[in-house]
Amino acid sequence: MGRRPKPSRPPGKERNASVSESPRLFLSPPWIGREERAAVKAAFDSGYVAPCGPQVDAFEQAIARQAGRRHAVAVSSGTAALDLILAHLGVDAHWTVVSPTLTFVATVGPAWHRGAKIVFVDSDATGTMDCALLEKALADVKDPARTLVIGVDLYGACCDYGRIGRLCRRAGATFVLDSAEAVGSACRGRPAGSAGLAAIYSFNGNKIVTTSGGGAILTDSKALADHARKLAQQSREPVPWYEHKEVGYNYRMSNLLAAVGLAQLDKLPRILAKRAENAAFYARHLPGRLLPTGNHWLSVALFDSPEAARELGARFAAANIETRPVWKPLHLQPVFAHAPVYGGEVAETFFRRGLCLPSGTGLTARDRTRIRRVLDSFLQDRADATA
DSSP conformation letters of 275-319: HHHHHHHHHHHSTT-BPP-TTTSSEEEE-SSHHHHHHHHHHHHHT
Whole-angstrom distance, CA of residue 382 vs CA of residue 120 = 36
Q: Is the pLDDT of residue 299 over 50?
A: yes
Looking at the domain assignment, is residue 6 inside a domain?
no
- The answer to whether the Cα torsion of 22, 23, 25, 31 is positive or negative is negative
Q: Is 295 exposed, middle or buried (0-12, 13-18, 19+ CB in 10 A)?
A: buried
What is the residue-averaged pLDDT of the chain?
94
Identify which has the larger pLDDT, 12 or 332: 332
Residue 16: the pLDDT is 47
Rg (CA), the chain: 23
Q: Are residues 273 and 261 in the same domain?
A: no
Q: Are residues 312 and 260 in the same domain?
A: no
Looking at the domain assignment, is residue 159 inside a domain?
yes
Q: Are strands 117-121 and 198-202 parallel, antiparallel or unpaired?
A: unpaired
pLDDT 10s digits, 53-77: 999 999 999 999 999 999 999 999 9
Looking at the domain assignment, is residue 10 inside a domain?
no
Task: Identify which of 378, 323, 327 has the alpha carbon closest to the alpha carbon of residue 350.
Answer: 327
Q: Are residues 233 and 271 in the same domain?
A: no
Task: Identify which of 162, 165, 157 has the alpha carbon closest to the alpha carbon of residue 123.
Answer: 157
Could you say which of 266, 295, 318 is where a domain stops?
Answer: 266
Q: Are residues 372 and 225 in the same domain?
A: no
Which strands sit side by side in the sheet containing 174-178, from one edge to the other? 71-75, 215-219, 198-202, 174-178, 147-152, 96-100, 117-121, 341-342
Looking at the domain assignment, is residue 2 inside a domain?
no
196 conformational bin, left if phi > 0, alpha if psi -120 to 50, beta if neither: left
Domain of 363, CATH number, reads 3.90.1150.10
Could you say which of 218, 247, 266 is where a domain stops?
Answer: 266
Q: Are residues 208 and 347 in the same domain?
A: no
Q: Are strands 198-202 and 215-219 parallel, antiparallel or unpaired?
A: antiparallel
Residue 20: the pLDDT is 54
Q: Are residues 170 and 108 in the same domain?
A: yes
Q: Are residues 244 and 107 in the same domain?
A: yes
Enclosing domain of residue 372:
19-31+267-386
Q: Are residues 173 and 310 in the same domain?
A: no
Note whether 306 and 353 are within 8 A (CB). Answer: yes
Q: Are residues 186 and 206 in the same domain?
A: yes
Confidence of residue 18 (pLDDT cuts 50, 70, 90): very low
Over residues 227-232, mean pLDDT: 98
Contacts of 362 (CB under 8 A, 6+ apart): 29, 31, 274
Looking at the domain assignment, is residue 11 inside a domain?
no
Confidence of residue 17 (pLDDT cuts 50, 70, 90): very low
Q: Are residues 233 and 328 in the same domain?
A: no
- The answer to whether the Cα torsion of 33, 38, 44, 49 is positive or negative is negative
Looking at the domain assignment, is residue 12 inside a domain?
no
Q: Is the pLDDT of residue 346 over 70?
A: yes
DSSP label of 53: S
Over residues 64-93, mean pLDDT: 98
DSSP run (H or E) holding 355? strand 354-357
Amino acid present at 235? S
Q: Is the pLDDT of residue 149 over 60?
A: yes
How large a percentage of the chain has pLDDT more than 90?
90
Could you say which of 266, 291, 311 is where a domain stops?
Answer: 266
Q: Say which range, 6-15, 291-300, 340-349, has the weakest mean pLDDT.
A: 6-15
Q: Are residues 234 and 160 in the same domain?
A: yes
Number of domains in the chain: 2
Q: Are residues 140 and 197 in the same domain?
A: yes
Query: What Å distances lie between residue 84 and 65, 303, 371, CA to CA?
Result: 21, 39, 41
Task: Identify which of 204, 98, 113 has the alpha carbon closest to the alpha carbon of residue 146.
Answer: 98
Residue 52: the pLDDT is 84
Whole-angstrom distance, CA of residue 98 vs CA of residue 107 = 10
Identify which has the larger pLDDT, 19 or 301: 301
Residue 50: the pLDDT is 80
Note whether 246 and 230 are within 8 A (CB). Answer: no
Residue 49: the pLDDT is 86
Looking at the domain assignment, is residue 322 inside a domain?
yes
